[in-house]
Chains A and B, each alone.
Chain A
């Protein structure tokens, strides 16, 4: 929970100062927040809303929850509907990730600014903040501070997020708020058309909303002064595993993977591999990845991507397949259990990966058939993510079984 300590050293954003995390001891109070960033543009009329959505488009902001969808397009789609609602997604179901919690614990008002702004831009009267239980009270307090100041016309409702890996999936968040069931729903309908209580619903990751609140203040050109032309801006990353100072950092998108690890104190051991993106990310050979930009373009040919901003470093000597078997078993257990291929396929696959990791007799043809039979066959992307992880492990650690017990 102490990401800001890492940022205090400065110089993390080649030529840019940290944008999102409060440099002092968080959470930033409303007065501190306003002193740092200035007031949020409010009371937008229709033409101003359209101008600002276009500005968000020029900024090139994309979702920071993992899917990377262009934020302006989502805003425009929801704004076109009648009486929409905004959901700020701070569920952070990804167990290795801490960036959303660190952000909310550090700059709660930046997230609330973004939620209020998203509501104004789409014409919503209410924004529901779904906060991980670790930061629920911080968000409550921040919302109360704003209510006392009479700041927002938009009604802010704070809810505690459900726990579990799939609970953060957008439709699962909506179903959690509405029905108390944190499991995804079928598409169609899209949430932008029919989501919470049937209303057009904008579900946006809390980090995305924080960026939105800054674009509204400082504009697209400022936003693009960090990151790469194709993937502008900064992003929060959680660095974990074999590094000296694991934690949450803010980096310009496209900073090399090696530099990101340096910013986390450097590796604490020679590295074998990196898990990039999250639990449903991709294992890559450390040597192949260190020089790569941490961006979609920079990692594409490794079949990897920044995902939800996770880098986990696996030291040499650790067993990648064993680690993957543990993750596969975890992900199998985290299936919402709604879809057959995911419910039955993932445990079967996890069992095979466990046998493989233990150097026992396995039928890799069977494993590969099952991977094919589960991929793309759920109501959400949970099985696909698990399959991507396991396939990447077979690529990266394929030669490993038998050499270790």
Chain B
């Protein structure tokens, strides 16, 4: 989960989950394979790295698609 400084700049966007809001429907993991997987209980595990530019549009669409509004794109660490 940690130890990766990511490859973009510090201003890059990272995926974040608000676990209080999330109820593990799994929409995000299905939409963003490679960036989001699921843990043993079905809750999203996001890669702690800057979202690569070529996947940014998909990531933004997934953020909008989360039924619980629990997924965010945030700048910096």
Contact = CB atoms under 8 A, between A and B. Distances in A.
Given A186-B18, A340-B22, A341-B19, A376 B1 contact: yes
A373 B45 contact: yes
Given A340-B24, A373-B45, A376-B1, A345 B18 contact: no
Interface size class of B (residues with CB under 8 A): 10 to 19
A341 B18 contact: no
A379 B24 CA distance: 14
Contact of A373 (B18, B22, B40): B40
Q: Chain A interface residue count: which class?
A: 20 to 34
Interface in A324-347: 338-342, 344-345
Given A372-B1, A373-B45, A376-B1, A341 B39 contact: yes
A340 B23 contact: yes
A107 interface: no
A370 B40 CA distance: 8
Contacts of A369: 40
A377 interface: yes
Contacts of A298: none
Contacts, number: 47
A186 B43 contact: no
B19 A340 contact: yes
B43 A377 contact: yes
A184 interface: yes
A186 B21 CA distance: 8
A186 B20 contact: yes
Nearest to A339: B19
Task: Tell me what chain B mostly uses at the interface: helix, strand, loop, or mixed.
Answer: loop
Nearest to A380: B20
Contacts of B40: 345, 348, 369-370, 373
B19 A378 contact: yes
A185 interface: yes
Contacts of B22: 339-340
B23 A379 contact: no
B20 A379 contact: yes
Interface string A366-385: 00011011011111000000
Nearest to B22: A340
Contacts of A373: 39-40, 45
Interface in B34-67: 39-43, 45
A376 B41 CA distance: 15
Interface in B1-33: 1-2, 17-24
B20 A344 contact: no
A340 B1 contact: no
A67 B40 CA distance: 30
Nearest to B23: A340
Contacts of B21: 186
A11 B21 CA distance: 51
Interface string A166-210: 000000000000000000111000000000000000000000000
Interface of B: 1-2, 17-24, 39-43, 45
Interface of A: 184-186, 338-342, 344-345, 348, 369-370, 372-373, 375-379
20 contacts: A186-B18, A186-B20, A186-B21, A338-B19, A339-B19, A340-B23, A340-B41, A340-B42, A341-B39, A344-B41, A344-B43, A345-B40, A348-B40, A370-B40, A373-B39, A375-B1, A376-B1, A377-B43, A378-B19, A379-B20
